[in-house]
Structure 1
Amino acid sequence: MNHLFQGIRILYVILFLTLTQSLFAQKGILVEYQRSNNNKIMEAQDPILVYASDSQTTITSRKIMNGERKTPYEVLFIKRPTNSYYKLTNLDAQKQLATLDSTVINKQQFEITKERKKILGYTCYRAKTSINSNSIDVWYTTELNLKGGPSELGQNLGFVLEVVRNGNSAITASKIEQVKSFPSSVSLPSTLDLVDDLTYKDLLWKSRFIQIPIFNKQKISFSDNSKSDSILRFASGTVIVKKVKIPKITAGQDVFIQVTEQSKGDAYDRTGSVFIIPEDQGISFLDGMKNGMNTLPIYNNGNGKDYQGVIRTANYTPILELMRFFTPFGVSQFNYLKLKDKNWQDSVLYRQDIGELASAISDKDVYVGAFIGNYDKNGHEVSVEITIHPGSDNHKSLKKLLPIFNSTNVMEMGGQEYGTMFNKEKGLEVTFELKEEAKNVQLRYITTGHGGWGDGDEFVPKTNSIYLNDQLAFSYTPWRNDCGSYRLSNPASGNFANGLSSSDLSRSNWCPGTVTYPIYIDLGVLKAGKHTIRVQIPQGENEGTSFSSWNVSGVLLYD
């Protein structure tokens, strides 16, 4: 009997130890972290939460656990002892995105120092590393007998209780709790559809903002052969127009326009513009495109020429320019023109913040157009998109705006006159009416000079003067002397005996392969009623059949 009782007792001991080990395997700790800058706790933050056991570390946040975090959000998992690193993003309530990196934890390298300090009563040691030119201090402890931390950094050292970047930005443990079991939501799902890391990063990045594709690899060339059901083409194919639905843009959101361009046959630098066609009045620019440019309101300044559709009138609004850009000399198509130590770009990317123009497109169906002036049957290929991003300042309100002039002759190949009205002192003058008082008024002004010979205004600095109600409001000389920076986008640019390339030469506010950005001229408060703005530029004289011109566009922004 004693042997029987002893055997039963041993069996109970084994069963107890097995159950104890099983329960211990499910136990772990929960560590909460706070972010700080320069020893000041950041306000309104979402604390990082780290659940850690012998078999797994999960990095999440308080709002995610409470169901308060908007998608997309990311949760990180480290499986032990292999240190397999899983990143899982909930794109929305139904869709997840995941990737696995089996090496990132194990390949980390640190310099272990002798420095130590106490964090929440635990002795921590300092380890140093550098990431992307940022100095990183990792403070870890071995007293918790577990591995983990608020990021992938230092997961093999012990338990990381603080990470400090560049000595002033810190993530520090603020609370440690023993937990008997973890919520099911912090367990790594048993089945995952994994993608490679680059695909994961790309899809995660794109999920954080709204993409509005407008044109995708559309040809802009001097040819009537290109056809499309959804895209309107004018001026022998040098202008493309499409109606696009833009979602509501809220205060504080950031709005960008992006253009990608390649040459498909044209070797020269050309003026390009992306614009919208306002339809707020009885006549629109689209009417002129369809019915002939001479059907639009005509501006005369006494020099004998008719300038179609360039200024605001009582029943017409000129086009609103989103971006002015310039093609380089033959990027992509002419990359076969080899030069030693010149690795040509395959395309040119133009990207610009247009948030100040958001009210013109927010929650509207708008006609968006793109123009590149050229006479080549193969011309250029462009892609255009607008992106809308969450912003950091929700107190900003959308600006009101009023397009008032645009002398860029986007219908150049459809009979629209060049902007040569500056050969008279009157220049370009427009009278407009405000229905109510406007505060914090700015003129968003884009200007570029053209005339491609030695004495043409493309190569001669000229002062632009802006008059408001006959008073000089602003004056400056637009000029770009950094054009040589973009040589690798200009394979077909001519090379001169003096060692320069044509694309190197300084120009009147533009370079081949760049965006010309607007300037913002403060006009203060404008009372309700009529006002007159005049643009005056000392345009150069003609030389034979060569002439100078200026493409200027202006829109009022105000509160």
Structure 2
Amino acid sequence: MNIRFLTIAAFTLISFSLSAQHAYKISYERSYNDKVMPGQDPLLVYTSNDQTAITSAKVLHSTATYPYETFYIDRKNPGVYYRLSTFSKSKTLATADSAILEKNPLKVTEETRKILGYNCRKATTSINSNAIELWYTTDLGVKGAPNELGQHLGLVLEYNRNGNSKITATKIERIKAMPASVSSPKIDDLVDALTYQDEVWRSRFIQVPIFKNELINFSDQVKSDSVLRFASGTVILKKVKVPASKEGMQAFIQLVQQSNGDAYDRTGSVFMIAEDQKQSFLDGMKKGMKELPAYDAGNDKQYLGMVRTEGYSPVYELMRFFTPFGVKHFNDRVTLKNKSWQDSVIYRQDVTEFLPLMVGKEVYIGTYIGNYDKGGHKVSLELTIHPGAESNNATKKLLSVFNTTNVMEMGGQEYATLFGAEKGLEVSFTLPEDAKDVKLRYITTGHGGWGNGDEFVPKENRISLDGNVAFKFVPWRVDCGSYRLFNPVSGNFANGLSSSDLSRSNWCPGTVTNPNYIDLGDLKAGQHTIKVQIPQGKPEGTSFSFWNVSGCLIYDGKPGINGGD
């Protein structure tokens, strides 16, 4: 656990006076595999017969970074400890817990050793399958510990988790009394432990709410002041401000989906409008899709807004997802013995590579679910940004190249049947600079045709760059049966299978489709051509096959240039 337990306050309505007894100050350091962790904030424990406080050097010197947590033991009321989180100069939150001994029972062993010259005994416990050892002494006549464990035993001088992660005392100093610097003003209000834990967890990252219980359905009747709706309500869009953040961050997009009347598995997409050129997908959404450039595959169909041209960029696809068969709305229609349907589906995906386009900016983020149902679906969407990423994406550049997912299906955008033509998908684009370590972020799923169509028949995807094959593979999912409990009204067959069990071309009802990251090497500035070829199946009566593919380039480039800016 990375929480730092810092300077402590008496949170009760009683004001604690400074102890007249002798007290101790104990300094600790953290180590991993017997190597001292560099750059750490030294942990300090102040303890006497009346109280124990856990703090750190940075807190005592007023250099601690928000948020930080504090820890306090009232020795006059054994077994009760108080936790305080300080989120800012004006915001704190506190809770009390009286079940510390019951939650983590300790077994004292006969093993002994000396730490800093004091006789110590070992106590053990297990927390979440982690083996914990505590080495404590009773020589000093006081109790305390560098965290909540072992506070009743004696003075814990070493905490050892799984034999490799340690907090060890490095110095013990006798002081005349508990100093005023480790006592804080009393706090009148305490919250329950669950509320406290949730607030502390949320304080550790940036939350950008986008949609909350928004309806995606086939109807023009739903209105909203903050959410834009297109294609008869099957597409929702919102302009959101993404706060500036430090380098070394990770970003996740999370969508929660429930059926509100639509019983079928549907294609869904979370996307962001690319605004690096004069014209964007938003122009087509507002003015009509015929405003956007059309791709001509040579089959007498016009595929509007799907490929990059000089002056236009298609949308960035953040996440491709698929709704299951009627989760939530139809849960009471079918009952299975010893099985319970899920209440919703949570789709969550790492989208860190898109941070350079987002941080400190206002961007349009939308969600599409293809359906013709007035009830449709309810969705909540949130972007979260978290500290601690190992890689630095600040210098990464992105270029939206193609996206054949017909987000504006109900607004006149054609299904991506273009792979049935000999030309397939061929896109020429211009790199504004030399690019290193170029990768194509590629998402692909096959659809349509019923039993003999590309949804249920494996097909090779072949991606070429400048006439040379860069990557080829057969996108296929064989794990769809794992998501049966998301699909209450999936069709059932005489052989005991459900439709949601069947393997598919890179998707399952109730799942996210992962991107492929195709290595294209280093590319020179100037024009290049990407070609995608898929042996699309032929139409069968009124049934036809199609492929939704999206691709954007991610590469290292010069600062200040990002996808045509």
Scaled by the length of structure 2, the TM-score of the pair is 0.93
Secondary structure of residue in 1 paired with 2:356: helix
Query: Could you say if the C-alpha distance between residues 460 and 23 of structure 1 is closer, same or farther in structure 2, counting changes exceeding 3 Å?
Result: closer
- 1:240, 1:89 → 2: CA distance? 38
Match of 2:5 in 1: none
> For 1:506-545, what aligned pairs fall within 5 Å after superposition?
506-545=503-542
Whether contact under 8 Å (1:358, 1:398) holds in the other structure is: no
Aligned length in residues = 538
Matched, 1:348 2:345: yes
Letter in 1 for 2:101: I
Letter in 2 for 1:531: H
Larger Rg: 1
Per-residue deviation at 1:396? 4.8
Match of 1:35 in 2: 30
Whether contact under 8 Å (1:117, 1:124) holds in the other structure is: yes
- 1:114, 1:224 → 2: CA distance? 75
Match of 2:310 in 1: 314
Cα offsets for 1:352-411 (capped at 9, x unmatched): 110011112122111111100000001000000111111243755341000000000000
Match of 1:443 in 2: 440
Match of 1:490 in 2: 487
- 2:65, 2:56 → 1: CA distance? 12
Instruction: Name structure 1 gaps, 5 residues minimum.
Output: 1-21
Matched, 1:136 2:132: yes
Letter in 2 for 1:56: Q
1:374 to 371, 396, 418: 371
Per-residue deviation at 1:108? 3.4
Letter in 2 for 1:449: G
Match of 1:66 in 2: 61
Cα offsets for 1:315-337 (capped at 9, x unmatched): 10001111111111100000002
Whether contact under 8 Å (1:356, 1:398) holds in the other structure is: no
Matched, 1:98 2:90: no
CA RMSD of aligned residues (A): 1.4
1:231 to 218, 227, 238: 227
Matched, 1:547 2:536: no
Letter in 2 for 1:162: E
Match of 2:416 in 1: 419
> For 1:129-168, what aligned pairs fall within 5 Å after superposition?
129-168=125-164
Query: Could you say if the C-alpha distance between residues 452 and 182 of structure 1 is closer, same or farther in structure 2, counting changes exceeding 3 Å?
Result: farther
Match of 1:285 in 2: 281
Moved more, 211-220 or 278-287: 278-287
- 2:271, 2:335 → 1: CA distance? 35
Cα offsets for 1:282-306 (capped at 9, x unmatched): 2111111122112210001111111
Cα offsets for 1:255-305 (capped at 9, x unmatched): 111100000000001000011112222211111112211221000111111
Secondary structure of residue in 2 paired with 1:461: coil
- 1:247, 1:107 → 2: CA distance? 39
Secondary structure of residue in 2 paired with 1:25: coil
- 1:279, 1:397 → 2: CA distance? 18
Whether contact under 8 Å (2:104, 2:127) holds in the other structure is: no
Per-residue deviation at 1:87? 0.5
Whether contact under 8 Å (1:373, 1:412) holds in the other structure is: yes
Whether contact under 8 Å (1:270, 1:373) holds in the other structure is: yes
Query: Could you say if the C-alpha distance between residues 249 and 519 of structure 1 is closer, same or farther in structure 2, counting changes exceeding 3 Å?
Result: farther
Query: Could you say if the C-alpha distance between residues 360 and 483 of structure 1 is closer, same or farther in structure 2, counting changes exceeding 3 Å?
Result: same
Secondary structure of residue in 2 paired with 1:105: helix
Letter in 2 for 1:456: G
Scaled by the length of structure 1, the TM-score of the pair is 0.94
- 2:265, 2:179 → 1: CA distance? 62
- 1:534, 1:480 → 2: CA distance? 24
Query: Could you say if the C-alpha distance between residues 344 and 62 of structure 1 is closer, same or farther in structure 2, counting changes exceeding 3 Å?
Result: same
Whether contact under 8 Å (2:219, 2:233) holds in the other structure is: yes
- 1:396, 1:558 → 2: CA distance? 10
- 1:310, 1:248 → 2: CA distance? 30
Cα offsets for 1:79-121 (capped at 9, x unmatched): 1132311000001111110000012135532221111111000
Match of 2:402 in 1: 405
Cα offsets for 1:12-51 (capped at 9, x unmatched): xxxxxxxxxx996343101111111111111111121111
- 2:40, 2:459 → 1: CA distance? 52
Matched, 1:430 2:427: yes
Whether contact under 8 Å (2:113, 2:121) holds in the other structure is: yes
Match of 2:116 in 1: 120
Whether contact under 8 Å (1:249, 1:358) holds in the other structure is: no
- 1:159, 1:544 → 2: CA distance? 80
Cα offsets for 1:226-252 (capped at 9, x unmatched): 001111111110001111111224321
Query: Could you say if the C-alpha distance between residues 162 and 108 of structure 1 is closer, same or farther in structure 2, counting changes exceeding 3 Å?
Result: same
Match of 1:195 in 2: 191
- 2:338, 2:91 → 1: CA distance? 47
Match of 1:13 in 2: none
Moved more, 213-222 or 44-53: 44-53
Letter in 2 for 1:197: A
Among the aligned pairs, what percent are the same residue? Answer: 63
- 2:189, 2:395 → 1: CA distance? 41
Letter in 2 for 1:186: V
Match of 1:478 in 2: 475
Query: Could you say if the C-alpha distance between residues 317 and 452 of structure 1 is closer, same or farther in structure 2, counting changes exceeding 3 Å?
Result: same
Letter in 1 for 2:407: V
Instruction: Name structure 2 gaps, 5 residues minimum.
Output: 1-16, 557-565
Match of 2:83 in 1: 87
Cα offsets for 1:173-230 (capped at 9, x unmatched): 0111111233324225423321000000000111111111111100000001100111
Matched, 1:77 2:72: yes
- 1:189, 1:353 → 2: CA distance? 42
- 1:112, 1:132 → 2: CA distance? 19
- 1:135, 1:280 → 2: CA distance? 53
Cα offsets for 1:50-97 (capped at 9, x unmatched): 110111111121112211111100010011132311000001111110
Query: Could you say if the C-alpha distance between residues 497 and 555 of structure 1 is closer, same or farther in structure 2, counting changes exceeding 3 Å?
Result: same
Per-residue deviation at 1:452? 5.0
- 1:148, 1:213 → 2: CA distance? 42
Whether contact under 8 Å (1:77, 1:188) holds in the other structure is: no
Match of 1:326 in 2: 322
Query: Could you say if the C-alpha distance between residues 396 and 407 of structure 1 is closer, same or farther in structure 2, counting changes exceeding 3 Å?
Result: closer
Match of 1:5 in 2: none
- 2:66, 2:465 → 1: CA distance? 48
Query: Could you say if the C-alpha distance between residues 512 and 185 of structure 1 is closer, same or farther in structure 2, counting changes exceeding 3 Å?
Result: farther
